[in-house]
Amino acid sequence: MSTNTDKTADKASDKTADRNGEKASAAGASTPEQYVQQKAAASGSSFYYAFLFLPPPRRAAITAFYAFCREVDDVVDEVSDPGVAATKLAWWRKEAMSAFNGQPSHPAMKALMPHVKDYDIRVEHLMAVIDGCQMDLEQTRYLDYPGLQRYCHLVAGVVGEVASGIFGRTDPKTIAYAHKLGQAMQLTNIIRDVGDDARRGRIYLPVSELQQFDVKAHEILKRDAPWGYSDRFTALMKFQAQRAHALYDEAVALLSDTDRKAQKPGLMMANIYRTLLREIEAENFQVLHQRIALTPLRKLWIAMKTNWRGR
C-alpha cells in the first residue's frame, strides 16, 4: 500500500480540522458547552424545543450529541464536492475514535465526552450515524423499502436509541420504541423534503414504490407544478404518510408506563413531527415546490402541551 495516499489524507484531515476550528471560532463560543448550545439553538430544530424541558445534566448530554449529529449531517448537506465531503466524514471517524481514546479536538466532541459513561453512549453509535451520512454520499436512490429502512436505522433509529438512554429508560422495550419513533420521524422528513432532496439529485422514496404508483423519477426531479402533482404522486405520498403514521402508533404502543415520564422529550418530538405530517397532508402533499414547516412558536406550544399532558 502506498503511503502517499495516507499522507494526502492526513493533510486533508488537518485542513478539515482547521476549518472545523474556524467554524467553532466563528460561532463566537468560548467553551464547548456554549458551542453545542449555539449549534442546537441556531438550527431551529424540533429537537431543541424538547431539550428545554430536561434537567441540566441530561440537557447538556443530548445537546452535545445533537450537535455531533448536526456536524456530520451538515457535511452531506453543505459540501457540494463528494470527495471533500468524504474526506470530512473520514475526519469525523478519526475524531470519534480519538475522542473515545481521551483526545477529543472538536468542541462538539469535547462537550459530549463527559457524558458518554453516564448514558452508555458508545463509539459504535457515532460510527453508525456517520455510516448513514456516508450512504447519502454513495447513493441517491433506494430500490426498496428494506434498503430505505437500513438508512433510517442509521441516521434516525440509532439517534433515537442514544436519545432514549439520555432521557432515561428502564424497560428494554423502550429501545424498540426509540427505533420505531426515529424511523417515523425520518420518514416524515423524507416526505417533507421531497422537493429539496430532488434539487440535490436525491430521491429517497423507494424505486419499487414509485413503480407501484407509476410515478416517474423525472417528474419528481423536474418538480413541475402542476404536472408534478399528479393523482399518482398524491397516492404515492398518501402511502408514505400512512406508513409513517403506523410507525408512530407502533412506537407509542411499545412505550411502557414506567418509562413514559422520562421519555416525554421524545413524545414532544413525536407530536411536533406528527403535527407537521398532518400539515403536509392538509396541503395535499404540495412538497415539490415548497418546504412546509411549523413556526417556532407552534413547536414550543406543542412541546409545552405534551409536557403538561404527559403524552
Residues 58 and 111 occupy one common structural domain: yes
Per-residue pLDDT at 29: 67
Q: Identify whether residues 90 and 44 lie together within a single domain.
A: yes
147 C-beta neighbours (distance < 10 Å), count:
16
Where does the pLDDT of residue 4 fall: very low under 50, low under 70, confident under 90, or very high at 90 and above? Answer: very low
Same domain, 107 and 120: yes
User: Which residues in 15-49 are b (16+ Cβ under 10 Å) and which e?
Assistant: ebeeebeeebeebebeebbebbbbbbeeeebbbbb
pLDDT digit string (tens) for 63-102? 999 999 999 999 998 888 999 999 999 999 999 999 999 9
Q: What is the span of the domain harbouring residue 97?
A: 1-138
- What's the confidence (pLDDT) of residue 310? 65
Residues 6+ apart with CB under 8 A from 262: 167, 168, 169
6 and 96 inside one domain: yes
CATH of the domain at 18: 1.10.600.10
Q: Structural domain tally of the chain?
A: 2
8 and 96 assigned to the same domain: yes
pLDDT confidence of 51, banded at 50, 70, 90?
Answer: confident
- Backbone phi, then psi, for 121, in 5-degree steps? -90, 120
Does the pLDDT at position 273 exceed 70? yes
Kindly state whether residues 157 and 237 are assigned to the same domain: yes
Q: Are residues 128 and 146 in the same domain?
A: no
Cell of 294: 411549523
pLDDT at 222: 79
Is the pLDDT score of 235 beyond 80?
Answer: yes
| pTM for this predicted structure | 0.86
Same domain, 148 and 285: yes
